[in-house]
Amino acid sequence: MRSATGFAPGRINLIGEHTDYNDGLVMPIALRLGVAIEATSRDNNMIRLTTDAAVAPRDVAYVLGAEERDGTWVDRARGVTAILARDGAALGGFDAQITSNLPIGAGLGSSAAFSIALLRAISTLFDLALDDTATARIAHAAENEFAGARSGMLDQLASVYGHSSDALLIDMRDQGTQVIPLSPTIELAVIDSGTRHEHATGGYNRRRAECEEACVQLGVASLRDIDERPLDEMLERLPPPLDRRVRHVVTENARVRRAVQAVRSRDDVTLGEILNASHRSLRDDYEVSTPQLDQLVVLATAAGALGARVVGGGFGGSIIALVQRGEGRELAAGVLEGYDGAGHVVAIVP
């Protein structure tokens, strides 16, 4: 019997939401929170997973090579082992104990963190020598081909390459990355609304299909291709809601570019305004916010945040609020006092 461990962090995203699957720009920051896995090999083909997280099931077993979807979180593990086996990796059965200090389904990349932690543990256990790029690719394939969530690669790339005290600018066109150090005068409060999304069955896949339909109607391969063209002319050619969806994606890419300048020049006020504009766009044009997330954003701004917005896929989950360094805890506590739901502070970043 051999044992191995794997860890992978969750992420926030400073700016650049729903741009990843449109060949656009994103700017994630890795969290210090994440998923840890301890795996021990078995002498048969059984895979057994147990977890301390508040998910169902908490103890489950399946046979390697007989992976069948059941619509639960376990599909991510089934996807990982099925894809590894399909790619020719010599795997065997194993027991995996999963622990997580990252809230699950809170828009903080927990699915990707789980798949990547599992891949890291398995890679060591079976001497697969998977590098970060392969790890991100397989985790993404498990999500898309097996779990049925047609997500982009933001979460996986943020988890393998992200830094916890810098933003990482990623151009999804070529996956080129650039480290953008955060100004020492700011921090971000990450607040979980306590309400949950369901990517696979929810609006996420629909948004992606709407973007694909807009590309067909505009005759382009990806929405990145219209970045340089006059936006109004593009929007006139689209029926609602496709025009609103496209306006979000194109203006969000522009906001990422402006955010990079604001971070570099330490213009914290402008950065806050860019986050607020991103929230309005996600709320009104992309329609992925919820009343709870909107309330948290309003409360954060009223309490003195420089800016705030929904983070991740939306349809529930978390917000980030930009504040002066040292003010995050107090601001978040004030926000939660006024909040109608049951939320909590996940982290203060960095």
Torsion of CA 54, 10, 307, 21, to 10 degrees: -110
Please, what is the minimum distance in Å from the beta carbon of residue 197 to ligand GLA?
9
SS3 26: strand
Binding to ligand GLA by residue 14, rule CB under 6 A?
Answer: no
Tell me which of 313, 316, 343, 350 binds ligand GLA, using CB under 6 A.
313
User: What Cα–Cα distance (Å) separates residue 221 from each residue in 17, 151, 217, 224, 225?
Assistant: 19, 18, 10, 8, 7
For 130-166, give the DSSP string.
--HHHHHHHHHHIIIIIS-----SHHHHHHHH--SSE
Nearer to ligand GLA, 272 or 313 (CB): 313
Please, what is the minimum distance in Å from the beta carbon of residue 179 to ligand GLA?
20
Nearer to ligand GLA, 173 or 329 (CB): 173
Q: Is 121 exposed, middle or buried (0-12, 13-18, 19+ CB in 10 A)?
A: buried
Binding to ligand GLA by residue 152, rule CB under 6 A?
Answer: yes
Binding to ligand GLA by residue 75, rule CB under 6 A?
Answer: no
Tell me which of 67, 155, 192, 285 binds ligand GLA, using CB under 6 A.
155
Binding to ligand GLA by residue 255, rule CB under 6 A?
Answer: no
CB proximity list for 301: less than 8 A, separation 6 or greater:
276, 307, 308
The residue count for binding ligand GLA (CB under 6 A) is: 10
Q: Which member of 155, 192, 243, 268 is catalytic?
A: 155
**Is 155 among the catalytic positions?**
yes
Among the listed ranges 16-24, 81-89, 296-304, 330-338, the one in contact with ligand GLA (CB under 6 A) is 16-24
Nearer to ligand GLA, 72 or 97 (CB): 72
Name the β-bridge partners of 49.
Answer: 60, 96
Q: Is 129 exposed, middle or buried (0-12, 13-18, 19+ CB in 10 A)?
A: exposed
Binding to ligand GLA by residue 18, rule CB under 6 A?
Answer: yes
Binding to ligand GLA by residue 151, rule CB under 6 A?
Answer: yes
Nearer to ligand GLA, 16 or 93 (CB): 16
Token couple for 182: 């955060």
Binding to ligand GLA by residue 120, rule CB under 6 A?
Answer: no
Among the listed ranges 12-20, 168-176, 276-284, 327-335, the one in contact with ligand GLA (CB under 6 A) is 12-20
CB proximity list for 52: less than 8 A, separation 6 or greater:
58, 98, 99, 100
Please report how the helices 74-86 and 110-125 are oriented relative to each other, as an axis angle in degrees rounded to 10: 40
Count of residues making up the chain: 350
Nearer to ligand GLA, 154 or 250 (CB): 154
Nearer to ligand GLA, 312 or 328 (CB): 312
Among the listed ranges 52-60, 72-80, 151-159, 175-183, the one in contact with ligand GLA (CB under 6 A) is 151-159
Q: How many Å apart are CA 50 and CA 60, to the nearest integer?
A: 7
Q: Which residues are catalytic?
A: 155
Footprint on this chain of ligand GLA (rule: CB under 6 A): 17-18, 20-21, 151-152, 154-155, 312-313
